[in-house]
Amino acid sequence: MAASQAGNPFYNAAPTLTNTYTISQNDQIISDFLPADGTLFQVTEVTNLSATATSDLEVSFAVISGPAIITDGDRLSFSATGTVQIEASQGGNDDWNAAPPVTHTYTVNKADQFISNFTPTNGTEFLVTDTETMEADASSGLTVGFNIISGPAFIVGRNDLHFNGPGTVLVETFQLGNDDWSAAIPLTNTYTVIKAEQSISGFTPADGSAFPVGTVTNLFATATSGLPVDFKVISGPAVLIGENLLVFDGVGTVLVEASQLGDADWNAAVSVCSEKSGEDPAVGGRHRGLGHTRQTTNQSVIAFLNEDHGRSPHGQHTQQHIGSADEFFASILCPGMGNGNTEDEIQDGPGHKRPDVHASCGAA
């Protein structure tokens, strides 16, 4: 740049003076870089980067190292746990020098997760025969697991809950996490398991059935528990031999009860009673009912029961009409016939003795 004075009538022109100046670009700095250096993140987080330059020019961001990605210029996300370094820079222009870059370091940790929607809900009551599918959700989207903490239960597969007795069952659901997710805090539910109810069905012969006196029939019934059903003559002219062999020994109405008393897992069933009638066939003296035999017959019944011969000693007396009560007992107790060693011979009818049939057997 030159400075001059041309003079006037009184002054000569002044010598021109020249000064030289150098004009350089302005310096700038970056400030207000966020998030702050040293910030902790979870791997699932996404955050926006921001910074300002004294030049008011736009600041750029770049991943220097670590498991991170920048999208849309300033949107920071993470792909794994670890340490991430992000640089903020401003390259300058014709008027501004490039700003010194600023680097921030972030630590990326595993994400926290929690478990919710644990079903069946806490406090649910079950029968010991129930089976239940357990469900729960983890905020991570990872699959949850289940574990029996205590009580009479077991798990089939991943989440099918079964019970093996009444009591209190404590079940835990958990999610152990992975490279990106921390383990969730386990949740526990408590369930009460009670005995199962059962019922009796299929009681045969059917209620109201009529039989000739002297008929022998098998009683049958099933319990929904699968446990064996017991039978009992409540009233009437009949006797129960073994577990289920019913003998009508007179004319009248017989009341038979079917019961199942339960066990550790099953409550007792409601007993079922069935009425059955013994009728006089009135076909001559030979077909007289057991109720018309002499006292020796009752003694034979007692002897038979005491010997505990089971349901059907020879598998063939399920339902039949015996010519006489004595023949019936002789056919069961003395299948060989005629080899008895007792002096108490059986009468086939009034005044008729059967020397080949005896009330008891020699081996009995």
Least confident of 11-20, 74-83, 233-242, 255-264: 11-20
pLDDT greater than 50 at residue 55:
yes
- The two tokens of residue 77 are 């996300």
Residue 4's pLDDT is 86
Distance CA 43, CA 80 (A): 6
H-run or E-run covering 305: helix 295-306
Question: Which amino acid type is present at position 137?
Answer: D
Q: Which amino acid is at 327?
A: E
pTM of the predicted model over 0.75: no
List 358's β-bridge partners, or say none.
Answer: 345
Domain with CATH 2.60.40.1080 in the chain: 30-109
Judge: domain 30-109, CATH 2.60.40.1080: yes
Q: Please check the confidence at residue 85 and state whether its pLDDT lies above 60.
A: yes
Asked whether 111 and 42 are in contact (CB, 8 A), the reply is yes
CB atoms within 10 A of CB 214: 27
- Give pLDDT tens digits for 253-300: 999 999 999 999 999 999 998 887 767 665 433 333 333 322 222 333
* Residue-level pLDDT at 204: 95
Length of the chain: 364
Identify the pLDDT of residue 6: 86
Q: What is the pLDDT of residue 16?
A: 86
Cis status, amide bond into 9, omega within 30 of 0: no
Q: How far apart are CA 334 and CA 323, in angstroms?
A: 16
In this structure, which long-range contacts are made by residues 56-64, counting pairs with CB atoms below 8 Å and at least 24 apart in sequence? 57/28, 57/90, 57/92, 57/93, 57/96, 58/90, 59/30, 59/33, 59/88, 59/89, 59/90, 59/99, 60/88, 60/89, 60/90, 60/91, 61/86, 61/87, 61/88, 61/89, 62/86, 62/87, 62/89, 64/103
What string of DSSP letters covers 15-80? EEEE------PBP--EEEEESPTT-EEETT-EEE-EEEETT-PPPEEEEEESSEEEETTTEEEESS
Residues of the chain with CATH 2.60.40.10: 200-358
Are the C-beta atoms of residues 118 and 186 closer than 8 Å to each other? no
What pLDDT does residue 289 have?
34
Q: Report the pLDDT value the prediction gives residue 316, as an integer from 0 to 100.
A: 35
Asked whether 225 and 260 are in contact (CB, 8 A), the reply is yes
pLDDT at 280: 62
Question: Domain 200-358: what homologous superfamily?
Answer: Immunoglobulins (2.60.40.10)
Sign of CA dihedral 341, 346, 351, 354: negative
Look at residue 278 in the predicted model and tell me its pLDDT: 66
In which band, very low, low, confident or very high, does the pLDDT at 126 lie, cut at 50, 70 and 90? very high
Cα–Cα distance, 165 to 194 (Å, whole number) = 8
131 vs 324: which has the higher pLDDT: 131
Tokens of 179: 């490279």
Report residue 163 CA to chain centroid gap: 7
Question: Which tens digits make up the pLDDT trace of 307-363?
Answer: 333 333 333 333 444 444 444 443 433 333 333 333 333 333 333 333 333 333 233
The hierarchical CATH code for the domain 118-194 is: 2.60.40
In this predicted structure, what is the pLDDT of residue 281? 60
The residue-averaged pLDDT of 13-21 equals 84
132-172 pLDDT tens trace: 999 999 999 999 999 999 999 999 999 999 999 999 999 99
Name the token pair of 74: 């300033």
Higher per-residue confidence, 315 vs 180: 180
Cis bond leading into 186, ω under 30°? Answer: no
Token pair listed for 53: 């330059």
Of residues 186 and 280, more confidently modeled: 186
What order of strands is seen across the sheet that includes strand 319-321? Answer: 238-241, 245-248, 215-218, 319-321
- pLDDT over threshold 60, residue 21: yes
Write down the residue that tokens 């020879």 correspond to: 314
